[in-house]
Amino acid sequence: MKINAHAKVNIFLKITGHENGYHTLLSRFMRVETLYDTITLVPQHCESFTIEGCNGIPTASNTVYKAYEVLRDYTGSETLGRFFKTHKVTVTKRIPSQAGLGGGSSDAAAFMRLVNKVCELKLSVETLAKLGSQIGADLPFFIYNYPSANVSGFGEIVEPFDETPLKLELHTPNIGCNTAVVYKTFKENFLNDITPCTFMGWEKHKSTNLLELIGDPVMLNDLYAAARIAYPELKTVAPQGWFFSGSGSTFFKPKT
């Protein structure tokens, strides 16, 4: 019983506003086919929910455990509770953390999809996505599991985009970017400068065309400038001609 939890990149990411304490966005998410964590459910007697492989992250703070709590509270399933007394969760990590690749969110989303099947919870994908959004804004994309999608609102609006995922090269410097810090920096420095007309219609264009036509990583990703203020060392490690994913710190480009 296992499932792969793929990384993502943001081909573009534009902040569209700020409501109720959270930023709204318009972004193209693309699955990274060659980079993924693996979630495995392993038979073992467990006194409580047991998860291994997450580098010392306390269970209560782990996105996978939060996903378990959400499923448990929503369904009230006795089967779910019994299952995790006889199985542990192991996570084989390959996606670096604080890298703009969605590793923690992807792990939680993959866990929800797997458990929904294994424990026969019979929740629709739409319901899973709504529950996942309580944990993090990226979860709905990973739960729908589209190769490429336009994501908007607070992350809860996920619309598949018909294109083949690009073959990508990734470069993650030894810098961890805290998502909350980057968004806070954006709000303090750039929120008042939002001009939606400058990216109108981007969601209709194929990713390869956007990268070629626009070409500027700062223009493509509103969080890049904020990340460079919060983490100035990004300026010295940024490879020329590469693009910036999410709140960072990963750079990417299509393979040639």
Residue 51's domain is classified under what CATH number?
A: 3.30.230.10
Range of the domain at 99: 2-8+34-147
- Two structure tokens written together for 86: 């006889």
Residue 178 lies in a domain: no
Domain count, the chain: 1
Side-chain-facing half-sphere of 125: CA atoms under 13 Å:
10
Q: For each of the chain's 256 residues, which pLDDT tens digit applies?
A: 999 999 999 999 999 999 888 899 999 999 999 999 999 999 999 999 999 998 878 889 999 999 999 999 999 999 999 999 999 999 999 999 999 999 999 999 999 999 999 999 999 999 999 999 999 999 999 999 999 999 999 999 999 999 999 999 999 999 999 999 999 999 999 998 888 888 999 999 999 999 999 999 999 999 999 999 999 999 999 999 999 999 999 999 999 7
Q: Is 133 helix (H, G, I), strand (E, B) or coil?
A: coil
Residue 142 resides in a domain: yes
d(CA 41, CA 12): 35
Give the contacts of 79 (CB within 8 A, at least 6 positions apart).
Answer: 119, 120
Handedness of CA 201, 203, 204, 209 (dihedral sign): positive
Residue 94 domain flag: yes
Domain assignment of residue 19, yes or no: no
φ, ψ for residue 10 (rounded to 5)? -100, 110
Report the number of secondary-structure helices (H) and strands (E) in the chain. Answer: 10, 9
Q: Pick the catalytic residue: 14, 66, 107, 138?
A: 138
Q: How many residues does the chain have?
A: 256
- 170 backbone dihedrals φ, ψ, rounded to 5°: -120, 145
Whether 24 contacts 61, CB under 8 Å: no
Q: Is 99 inside a domain boundary?
A: yes
The active-site residue out of 8, 37, 66, 107 is 8
Question: Do the domain assignments include residue 208?
Answer: no
* 246 is a domain residue: no
| Residue at 243 is within a domain | no
The strand pair at 87-92 and 168-171 is best described as unpaired
Q: pTM, whole model, 2 decimals?
A: 0.95
Cis peptide before 249 (omega within 30 of 0): yes
66 is catalytic: no
Catalytic residue check, 216:
no
